[in-house]
Chain A
């Protein structure tokens, strides 16, 4: 291991800046009697790579869906304060699981958001070929999803979200269905693409490693109802070298710390599930 120190220089901007991109205040979401998200307040700053970890069923997906405008909050509010740009969408989501449209080719999928916004064909061509290039999919532009592997399909979903050029990128466990090697490759690719423009990212994961490798800050959520348990700033310099990082003591400390918080919640989530007689 050659000196990892240069990569691990602590960076100061882990705490929210003066003008957050996303300001969530006392957000609560209930489904009938079930409280999914309970009184969550947080700020996410411009260009921050924000990670949310929590046990299954802690409402993290619900939180993200509210941010995406796919669900309505029961109470509390969200303010999104992004630089004024009429021609850019506020957010784009990379969904958990298979979300690219099976009836469209890789190209058509990647171009979807742009097409829906009536972006000129010439721009679509440029942007889509750029991101297909960046995700290593250029050769597969004419393929249908069923002709691709799971990892490639997830890359299409990422290309689609980036090509849409949103102010905020929402990612819901985008790599959870992939095997370990593909996951690592895609995480690296994701960071590389992200470094180009440093969009604000809200990224849900159940993997503590992923949270530390990718994020600027990690929010740990409690088991049902989902509340904020802890914010952990990840003061690791970028660009990050995963292999060096994983051997570094700072990395181990962060994983250890987050896992310490998360462990109790996972345990509690399990007890809740057992108590309800539901399969976990």
Chain B
């Protein structure tokens, strides 16, 4: 009797969880759509100044036109390429340094103050220096992304390793894992969830920095597109650039979440 009751009590609860998830999904699709519709209506009926806030339909029309001409694709591709290399060049050393800092006390003591001192510098303020050192070409843009990705990844990797349950490190020692194996089989996988968060943060910062870097001293990229729209007062084009950056951010978040599921299959959601 009590067993049956328990089973009855469990069944609707499970279906409820599913429907909650479904509801969340619908709401999260509906909210941006609703905002767009509201915006369109406000623009159509003249509630907002379309010189500053052009109607989404007008922006979309231009976006399609720019896609067809290939112009938008070139700029987007350029920004993405810089973002990619910057993430790699900044992220990989940061990951290695961060994990090693987490494992090794002296190395942590050496690098902790350096990171603590340089981390608070607004990365965008380094742009003039980057231009000075690397010139107007690709390296200065990639450098800006790299520096933006470096800090959150390094800091998170250290934290991630320090937060690993000590028992796992004891397991490594007892089962005679050497340094290399301790890195690959204990420290890195143990810290990986926190490192992934660092990468997500870092890529977000990288996206900000690439937009800023491309506004000054660049001839291509979405930042350049936005900046040149300001110079010619092509407001709709500005919005197309902004939209593409937002889209990149959104898609990258989705991709990183998928990647996380793939490389951290043990993570309990």
Contact = CB atoms under 8 A, between A and B. Distances in A.
Interface of A: 68-70, 89, 91-93, 95, 97-99, 101-104, 112-113, 116-117, 144-146, 160, 164
A116 B170 contact: no
Given A68-B174, A92-B175, A103-B192, A97 B266 contact: no
A113 B175 contact: yes
Contacts of B186: 101
A99 B171 contact: yes
Interface string B174-202: 11111001000110011010000000000
Contact of A101 (B185, B192, B268): B185
Contacts of A98: 165, 167
Contacts of B181: 116
A41 to B, nearest CB: 24
A117 B192 CA distance: 24
Given A101-B186, A146-B266, A95 B175 contact: no
B37 to A, nearest CB: 43
A95 B165 CA distance: 13
B265 interface: yes
B174 A92 contact: yes
Contact of A146 (B173, B189, B268): B268
A3 B173 CA distance: 47
B145 to A, nearest CB: 29
Nearest to A96: B167
Nearest to B177: A116
Nearest to B167: A99
Interface residues of B, number: 21
Contacts, number: 57
A160 B181 CA distance: 17
Interface of B: 165, 167-168, 170-171, 173-178, 181, 185-186, 189-190, 192, 264-266, 268
B185 A112 contact: yes
Nearest to B193: A103
Contacts of A69: 173-174
Contacts of B173: 69-70
A105 B179 CA distance: 22
Nearest to A109: B171
Contacts of B189: 101, 103-104
B176 A116 contact: yes
A273 B191 CA distance: 36
Contacts of A99: 167-168, 170-171
Nearest to A114: B175
Contacts of A160: 175
Contacts of B167: 95, 97-99
> Chain B CB within 10 Å — which of A101, A144, A145 has the most?
A101
A92 B176 CA distance: 10
B21 to A, nearest CB: 20
A42 B135 CA distance: 73
